[in-house]
Amino acid sequence: MWTMCILEVQNIVAGYGKINILHGVSITVRGTEIVTVIGPNGAGKSTLLRSVFGLIKPRQGRILFSGEDITGSPPGALVGKGLAYVPQDKNVFPSLSIQENLEMGAFMVRGGCRSRMEVIYELFPWMRDKRHAKAGDLSGGQQQMVALGRALMLEPRLLLLDEPSAGLAPNMVSEILEKVKRINSSGVAVLMIEQNARKALAISGRGYVLSMGRNEFEGTGAELLDNPEIGRLYLGG
């Protein structure tokens, strides 16, 4: 059955200064699936997400969101269209409380955002009791959840996640990815970069492997997990 692509990245070339990091990368996110991008450091994974979210303007290629060409559109315009981006670090306002961070996520909402905040508190129950705590005083895993919650305040259709479990303890990695599954099950498509490749691919409908700024492999999450070459090169054997 054919499923409409919510995101199409078509042969983009992008980089910094005079240096290209991506050399004709193409990916798709269909419907409301989870897609994970893996690869070694320096492969261009973060550059890919930044290009999609308008933080870097591609030098070649196109990016389509629900069929609309958004190549080079500024982040503010993309948020209004239904994209949300959670960077790997510096993704909370440390001097603000949890509740204030969530309110900052709803900056484009006219009127109150209380009902949306209740949805976030249901997803992350611990936040309700600690809602007045400063985000900078939280653990790394808790800060990541606050960043996820803030990104969800505008009810995005596509969530871009850059290494959501980076630097976290193994039990917290599993908890973060379980939350990603729940977010996805609510109807939000997810494009994720993740260093814990095995766990991420296990919850993904499809995945891509980037190497030196180029597509190297793609397939379902199960196919990539079962590929012995991918296992040897990128999954630790």
Spatial separation of the C-alpha atoms in residues 93 and 136, rounded to whole Å: 7
The amino acid at 131: R
Per-residue model confidence (pLDDT) at position 108: 63
Q: What is the pLDDT of residues 129-183, one digit of tens each?
A: 999 999 999 998 899 999 999 999 989 999 999 999 888 888 888 999 999 999 9
**What domains can be seen in the chain, in order of their start residue?**
5-88+152-234 (3.40.50.300)
Amino acid at 44: G
**Mean of the pLDDT values across residues 208-232?**
95
What confidence tens digit (pLDDT) does each residue in 27-47 have? 999 999 999 999 998 999 999
**Dihedral sign (CA 52, 57, 62, 65):** positive
Say if residue 237's pLDDT is above 80.
no
